[in-house]
């Protein structure tokens, strides 16, 4: 199977007001939902795509500690993950995780892989 990127999203929370604060997991969930919407033509397609997620790779955050962020996101998405990973810190990690996800799809280990990351420095102030 040839891996294809089907949906992308970028969420920004530039507000520094305490009432607008969001943690990275919330930003990631918003981005994943927006990427699913980007890849879908209907709410039925969105539901089917979300239910097909079986792989989740997360770029490690600097600003917020999580014991198992990929597991938390998978739980909030309501998906059963065959694969989940939480990278080390580093600017090379998104490309490394994308390569790994593409390899899993190409070998049939995964059908729908999600790669996400977020920071919430403004929310920490």
Q: What is the CATH number of the domain that holds 50?
A: 3.40.47.10
Residue 58 lies in a domain: yes
Q: Residue range 2-20: average pLDDT?
A: 83
Q: Which residues contact 70 (CB under 8 A, 6 or more apart)?
A: 56, 57, 58, 81, 84, 85, 86
Domain that holds residue 48: 18-124
Compute the residue count for the chain.
Answer: 125
Phi, psi (degrees; rounded to nearest 5) at 123: -80, -15
Q: Residue range 19-48: average pLDDT?
A: 92
Residue 3 lies in a domain: no
Residue 86 lies in a domain: yes
Residue 18: Cβ within 10 Å count: 8
Residue 5 lies in a domain: no
Residue 12 lies in a domain: no
pTM of the model as a whole: 0.89
Tell me how many domains the chain contains: 1
Residue 115 lies in a domain: yes
Across 7-11, 49-53, 88-92, which has the greatest mean pLDDT?
49-53
What pLDDT is stored for residue 125 in this prediction?
52
What pLDDT is stored for residue 63 in this prediction?
83
Q: Mind listing the pLDDT tens digit for each residue in 58-110? A: 999 988 889 999 999 999 999 999 999 999 888 889 999 999 999 999 999 99
Q: What's the chain's average pLDDT?
A: 90
Residue 82 lies in a domain: yes
């Amino acid at each position: 199977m040839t891996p294809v990127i089907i949906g992308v999203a970028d969420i920004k929370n530039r507000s520094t007001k305490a009432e607008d604060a969001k943690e990275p997991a919330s930003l990631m969930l918003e981005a994943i939902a927006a990427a699913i919407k980007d890849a879908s033509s209907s709410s039925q397609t969105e539901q089917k795509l979300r239910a097909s997620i079986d792989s989740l790779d997360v770029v490690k955050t600097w600003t917020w500690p999580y014991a198992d962020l990929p597991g938390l996101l998978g739980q909030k998405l309501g998906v059963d993950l065959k694969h989940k990973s939480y990278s080390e810190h580093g600017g090379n990690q998104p490309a490394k995780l994308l390569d790994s996800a593409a390899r899993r799809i190409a070998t049939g280990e995964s059908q729908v892989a999600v790669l996400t990351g977020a920071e919430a420095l403004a929310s920490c102030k």
